[in-house]
Structure 1
Amino acid sequence: MHPDEAHVWQLDPTRVAGREPTEAAAALLSPEERARPAAHRDPRAGHTFLVARGLLRCALSELVPEVAPAVWSFTRGPYGRPQIATPRCHTSVRFNVSHTRDQVVCVVVRDADCGIDVEPAGRTVDVPLLAGDVPAPAEAAVLAAAAPEHRSEVFLRHWTLKEAYAKALGVGMRLPFAGLVFGPPTTGAPRLDPAAHPEGADWQFAQWVTARGPAGQGWVVSLALSRPGGRELRIVRHDRWPTCPPSPSRGTWVYRCDRAANVVNRTRIPNSSAVNVRSPLTVGVRRRIRLVSRWSTPAFEDQETPLGGAPGQRKSAAWSRAHSV
């Protein structure tokens, strides 16, 4: 995964339909994720959630092919933003997901905060009701000047930009939207008003409206990216399902994470009920790993010993994972 690229996937969840594709996507999820669709009263919303989580896992594994989709595990930040928990040497990979009833978007980037939001371009919005909470005064003037038939879409352009930025910051709806001022529309990319937000120079924004189909429906998509080192990121857009990493014909992939080098070394070993793997970052240490079924999170016993210490005294920075194929 190139550090100067941000990859965005945008898909219609109804394209992942039928029993076999749905079960294949569900097989990649954690037990907690698989239970979530059943909590939705609307089966279509539950299906969209399932597709969104499967898309995220496969997108991560396309860009980090040494990690299988089901191996990723996630945690939440202080304000609830999802982030990678393991593999720990890939926690610098950031992602964000948004979905509506008929559209799923996902962004993946390395070493940069990111947020994405999507809304139907044809959605009817009660603009007067929300005018005091979302647009800044200058933006409210732009809304008032818009033709009535375009006012909802103009509002959604402002809303999705602010939503994406709030998600990138990791604070969600705690950010006062009316205090955010985006500069006047230009031929270039959206930007925070530099007079009101000097920190806007550290951020990159993009926005597009997908082509409307036969039904006249399109989607407004907004993207917010921090600029690591002040550099501009190249946005790569995909309208396909991510390519999952290939599986070996025989044997087991063993993943060894070198946190110092920020890489995962992948090695194939013969199938067996258990193997001993020497950790790359410790001396005279062995760990016993139990192999489990393909695409499931591996279970293992961490018995690493620091040099001069007792077994189980502490966990090493190195870790190994394996899954049967």
Structure 2
Amino acid sequence: MPGPQGPWEPVREDLAETGAAVVYGTLGTWSAYLQQPEVLQPLLGRDWARYLSQPHPRSKERFLASRLLLRQAAAEAIGTVPELVDLAYHPGGRPYVRGCDQIDISLSHTEEVMIVGVTRRGRIGVDVELAGRRMAGTASETQGFTHVELADLDRAPASRRNDLLVRLWTLKEAYSKALGQGLRFRFTEFGFALDGAGARLMQPDGRPVAGGSAWTFVTFLVEPRYVVSVAVYDSGFGGGVDLSVETALDDGLLDTLLRASDWR
């Protein structure tokens, strides 16, 4: 997504057709829209204090651009404007839209790339890593993967080992984010069997996880130096959900909120 102007129609189409959408932006293109300080505080809302607390100009820029992308994507999903998206955070840091449990959101960023996931079917987690991140032969390899995963890697060509490790790591990050656990969930307590661009959730001993069919996992490249993995849990809500805030809220309440914000 090159900027707030979109095009956002593919996001709405994906949500309507599949129940989930994933968008990405680059820091350079999105930070170009953040040169008007007078609009930053109302745009960030309760994130304003977190923005001011960022220790370095670069971290401030990344925080600002990533929250703008997240707010814009959530706004498009529920049919409103970013200024009216009230972002909040669970104790573990997982973001959500306050007062709008029709959707679930997830955010990840590294270096120049920001990823946002939105779903109306249940839970979503996204993660992005530099494709060239070195993991083979490091502590991450021995501490972050099951014995079955490492045995599978041993059977793969040595030239692909690091690429597969990065892919598995991003899948684990995305899955744990969807669960709301982050790095508190030990990565040796679950594993993945890679299957084309997708993956299947496995127990540490290599057996399929009960109920794992409700999860969808996919990995792809962007920009193209970055590996992105997405985990989506279908809670069985179905596909016929109208996400617009205008239908999700009582008409009288909506009118009161709009008058209070002076937005139509």
Q: CA deviation at 1:257?
A: 5.9
Partner in structure 1 of residue 76 of structure 2: 62
Partner in structure 2 of residue 187 of structure 1: 196
What TM-score do the two structures reach when normalised by structure 2?
A: 0.78
Q: Distance in 2 between matches of 1:289 and 1:179?
A: 45
Q: Is the 8 A contact 1:44 1:101 kept in 2?
A: no
Q: Is the 8 A contact 2:24 2:113 kept in 1?
A: yes
Q: Does 1:15 pair with 2:29?
A: yes
Q: Is the 8 A contact 1:57 1:72 kept in 2?
A: yes
- Counterpart code for 2:94: R
Q: Is the 8 A contact 2:23 2:115 kept in 1?
A: yes
Q: Does 1:123 pair with 2:133?
A: yes
Q: Is the 8 A contact 2:27 2:65 kept in 1?
A: yes
**In 2 relative to 1, CA 264–52 (structure 1 residues): closer, same or farther, beyond 3 Å?**
farther
Q: Distance in 2 between matches of 1:256 and 1:6?
A: 17
Q: Does 1:104 pair with 2:93?
A: no
What TM-score do the two structures reach when normalised by structure 1?
A: 0.64
Partner in structure 1 of residue 177 of structure 2: 167
**In 2 relative to 1, CA 231–144 (structure 1 residues): closer, same or farther, beyond 3 Å?**
farther
Q: Does 1:47 pair with 2:61?
A: yes
Q: 2:94 aligns with which of 61, 65, 81?
A: 81
Q: CA deviation at 1:49?
A: 1.4
Q: Secondary structure at the match of 2:164?
A: helix
Q: Does 1:5 pair with 2:12?
A: no
**In 2 relative to 1, CA 203–28 (structure 1 residues): closer, same or farther, beyond 3 Å?**
farther
Partner in structure 2 of residue 136 of structure 1: 146
**In 2 relative to 1, CA 188–58 (structure 1 residues): closer, same or farther, beyond 3 Å?**
closer
Structure 1: gaps spanning 5 or more residues: 213-217, 233-254, 266-277, 281-286, 292-297, 299-321
Q: Distance in 1 between matches of 2:180 and 2:226?
A: 23
Q: Is the 8 A contact 2:136 2:165 kept in 1?
A: no
Q: Distance in 1 between matches of 2:128 and 2:250?
A: 33
Q: Is the 8 A contact 1:115 1:225 kept in 2?
A: yes
Partner in structure 2 of residue 220 of structure 1: 227
Q: CA deviation at 1:227?
A: 1.6
Higher strand share: 1
Structure 2: gaps spanning 5 or more residues: 1-14
- Counterpart code for 2:123: D
Q: Does 1:207 pair with 2:219?
A: yes
- Counterpart code for 2:232: L
Partner in structure 2 of residue 247 of structure 1: none
Q: Distance in 1 between matches of 2:54 and 2:23?
A: 24
Q: CA deviation at 1:17?
A: 3.8
Give the greater-gyration-radius structure (CA).
1
User: Percent identity between the aligned chains?
Assistant: 26
Q: Does 1:113 pair with 2:123?
A: yes
- Counterpart code for 1:207: T
Q: Secondary structure at the match of 1:26?
A: helix
Higher helix share: 2
Aligned pairs, number: 242
Q: Distance in 2 between matches of 1:176 and 1:12?
A: 30
Q: Distance in 2 between matches of 1:80 and 1:221?
A: 20
Q: Is the 8 A contact 1:29 1:53 kept in 2?
A: no
